[in-house]
Amino acid sequence: MGSPIRLPEIGAGHASLSVSCWLVDIGELVDRGDRVVELVTVGSTFDVSAPLAGRLTRIDKPLDTTVAVGDILGFIETETETETETETEPVS
């Protein structure tokens, strides 16, 4: 399943924001700290960074979706998780 990308606490007065742009496509590799999604609110733009290195496997909040602190935006799967899933799949 991977690790969630959550909207972190961004300060007072920003209870909800909108997803304006995913900077990474599903399947792309990211390094820890890479910007993965851009959020906007009235007068401000915020970037959310990858919490770990891996591959973006799922986007839970598409463009123009309103999000709040703590919401899961998407998931990143590490290469180790991918290898483990491949090894456990039955071979026909």
Strand runs labelled E in the chain: 3-6, 16-22, 29-30, 35-41, 44-49, 54-59, 66-68, 72-77
Domains of the chain and any CATH numbers: 3-87 (2.40.50.100)
Q: Residue with structure tokens 């483990």? A: 84
For 50-92, where are the alpha helices, taking DSSP H only?
79-88
Can you tell me the mean pLDDT for 13-20?
82
Residue 30's identity, in one-letter code, is V
pLDDT band at 86 (very low <50, low <70, confident <90, very high): very low
Q: Give CA separation, 54 vs 48, 50, 63, in Å.
A: 15, 9, 22
Can you tell me the mean pLDDT for 43-52?
92
Residue 28 has pLDDT above 90, yes or no: yes
pLDDT band at 7 (very low <50, low <70, confident <90, very high): very high
